[in-house]
């Protein structure tokens, strides 16, 4: 069963077309002996009906803009801190890169938010966990590089060499995954 996500005269962004439009008509598709419509499509005056997944409300777009601005305020100061392993001494873990400790990624200025791993998981594959910690710490800078590549390609699409077109597309997909909360599997399923 489907419920209408948008209402008549609501301003929406039409993803397949890449433009803003107003919902002219909400079109429920009914089935005999069923109380709710099977699906709902929307006429936005662009020549065909669009599904709810192809449209994004203005509120969601503004929320995305706020998220982007929050991430553009300044460089993220994520860092790896070493935490003492309370269950194993340095002598017991001499094969580890940093005996007696494990990494914790701090993503908050107050040193109490972030990513950590249980000591037993670290003990299983310490090199993998060290790699993940360094990867997470560098993620904000990697997002900035992706954004710069995507913006440069958007400004001058004809100047992008064929060899880099796949890279530009990958950057766009990564940025969409980072910033587009509505593309999450839970929201898409509803």
- Summarize pLDDT for 83-104 with one digit per residue, the tens: 777 666 656 666 666 677 778 8
* Residue 24 confidence class, pLDDT cut points 50, 70, 90: very high
Same domain? For 29 and 107 the reply is no
Q: What is the pLDDT of residue 65?
A: 56
Report pLDDT digits (tens) over 36-67.
888 899 999 988 999 888 888 877 665 555 55
Task: Tell whether 38 is covered by a domain.
Answer: yes
Query: Is residue 121 scored above 70 in pLDDT?
Result: yes
Q: What is the pLDDT of residue 176?
A: 84
Same domain? For 96 and 47 the reply is no
* Strand order across the 79-84 sheet: 79-84, 101-106, 114-116
By the 8 A CB rule, do 178 and 143 touch? yes
Q: What is the pLDDT of residue 73?
A: 42
Same domain? For 16 and 90 the reply is no
Query: Is residue 129 scored above 70 in pLDDT?
Result: yes
Q: Whose CA is closest to 106, among 81, 74, 142? A: 81
Question: Taking the mean position of all CA atoms in its chain, how far away is CA 82?
Answer: 28
Give the C-alpha separation, 125 to 135, whole Å.
Answer: 16
Task: Tell whether 155 is covered by a domain.
Answer: yes
Task: Tell whether 3 is covered by a domain.
Answer: no
Place of tokens 């593309």: 183
In terms of pLDDT, which residue wins out, 188 or 14? Answer: 14
Domain range for residue 18? 11-58
Q: What is the pLDDT of residue 182?
A: 57
Same domain? For 107 and 182 the reply is yes
Task: Tell whether 2 is covered by a domain.
Answer: no
By the 8 A CB rule, do 54 and 41 touch? no
Q: What is the pLDDT of residue 187?
A: 42
Place of tokens 């706020």: 66
Total-model pTM: 0.50
Please give the average per-residue pLDDT across 3-22, as a whole number. 87
Q: How many domains does one find in the chain?
A: 2
Same domain? For 143 and 172 the reply is yes
Q: Take residue 45 and report the two structure tokens written for it.
A: 């005056």
Q: Whose CA is closest to 132, among 108, 102, 112? A: 102
Q: What is the pLDDT of residue 23?
A: 93
CA-to-CA dists, residue 5 to 10, 32, 86, angstroms: 10, 22, 51
DSSP tag of 25? E
Same domain? For 104 and 167 the reply is yes
CA-CA-CA-CA torsion for 165, 167, 173, 175, nearest 10 degrees?
-120
Task: Tell whether 117 is covered by a domain.
Answer: yes
């Amino acid at each position: 069963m489907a419920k209408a996500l948008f209402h008549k005269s609501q301003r929406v962004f039409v993803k397949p077309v890449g433009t803003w439009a107003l919902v002219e008509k909400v079109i429920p598709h009914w089935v005999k002996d069923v109380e709710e419509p099977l699906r709902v499509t929307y006429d936005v005056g662009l020549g065909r009906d669009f599904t709810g997944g192809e449209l994004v409300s203005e509120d969601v777009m503004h929320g995305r803009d706020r998220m982007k601005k929050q991430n553009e305020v300044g460089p993220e100061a994520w860092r790896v801190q070493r935490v003492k392993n309370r269950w194993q001494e340095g002598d017991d873990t001499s094969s580890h890169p940093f005996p007696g400790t494990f990494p914790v990624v701090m993503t908050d200025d107050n040193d109490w938010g972030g990513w950590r791993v249980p000591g037993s998981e670290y003990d299983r594959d310490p090199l993998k966990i060290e790699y993940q910690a360094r990867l997470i710490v560098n993620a904000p800078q990697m997002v900035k590089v992706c954004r710069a590549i995507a913006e440069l390609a958007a400004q001058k699409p004809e100047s992008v060499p064929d060899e880099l077109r796949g890279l530009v597309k990958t950057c766009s997909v990564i940025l969409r995954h980072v910033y587009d909360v509505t593309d999450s599997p839970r929201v898409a399923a509803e």
